Structure 1
Amino acid sequence: MSSFDYNSSMIKAAFFDLDETLINAEHAHKAATEKAFAVFGYDYSEERKKSPNHISMGKRVYDNLKARRDGAGISEEQMPMDKLLDIREGYFLSFMKDEIVLLEGAREILEVMKRKHIITAIVSSGTKKYVELVMDIFKLRNDIHFIITGDDVERGKPDPECYLKAYDQALNELKDLHNQECIVFEDTESGITAGKKAGMRVVYIPTSTSVPPINYLPDYTIGSLLSFKTEVLI
Structure 2
Amino acid sequence: MSEIQYIISDLDGTLADTFEANYQAYKSVFGKYGFELTRESYRRCYGFKLDDLCRNLGFSFDTDLLEKIKEQKAACYPEFFSFLRPNMVLINFYRAFRQQGGHLALATTASRKNVLNILDYLQLGSLFDFIIVGEEVKRGKPDPECFLLALHRWGIGPEKVLVFEDSEIGIKAAEQAGLKVLGIRNGFYET
User: What is residue 115 of structure 1 aligned with on the other side?
Assistant: 99
**What are structure 1's unaligned runs of at least 5 residues?**
1-7, 172-176, 213-234
TM-score by length of structure 2 reads 0.89
Give the drift of 1:135: 1.8
Structure having the larger proportion of residues in helix: 2
Structure 1 residue 202 corresponds to structure 2 residue 191 = no
User: Cα distance, 1:87 vs. partner?
Assistant: 2.2
- Aligned: 1:35 with 2:19: no
| 1:36 Cα deviation from its structure 2 partner | 1.1
- State the partner residue of 2:51: 62
Instruction: Measure, in 1, the Cα distance between the counterparts of 2:162 and 2:6.
Output: 6
Over the aligned positions, Cα root-mean-square deviation in angstroms equals: 2.2
Percent of counterpart pairs with the same letter?
26
Residue 61 of structure 2 aligns with which residue? 76
CA apart distance, 1:163: 0.1
The change in CA–CA distance for 1:112 and 1:61 in structure 2 (over 3 A counts) is: farther
Rg comparison, structure with higher value:
1
Task: Work out the CA distance in 2 between the residues paired with 1:129 and 1:88.
Answer: 10
Unaligned runs of 5+ in 2: none
Amino acid at match of 2:17: N
The equivalent residue for 1:5 is: none
State the distance in 2 between where 1:75 and 1:59 align: 16
| CA apart distance, 1:211 | 5.5
TM-score (norm 1): 0.74
Partner of 1:80: helix, strand, or coil? helix
Q: Distance in 2 between matches of 1:142 and 1:53?
A: 30
Is 1:145 aligned to 2:129, yes or no? yes
Give the AA of the match of 2:74.
E
Secondary structure, counterpart of 1:180 in structure 2: coil
Instruction: Give the length in aligned residue pairs.
Output: 190
Distance change (3 Å), C-alpha of 1:164 and 1:211: farther
- Residues in 1 aligned to 2:26 and 2:73: alpha-carbon distance in whole angstroms: 6
> Which residues in structure 2 correspond to 1:75-114 (within 5 Å)?
75-76=60-61, 80-96=65-81, 98-114=82-98
Q: 8 Å contact 1:25–1:99 — kept in the other structure?
A: yes
Runs of 4+ displaced beyond 6 Å = none
The residue aligned with 2:11 is: 18
Q: Which moved more, 1:34-43 or 1:133-142?
A: 133-142
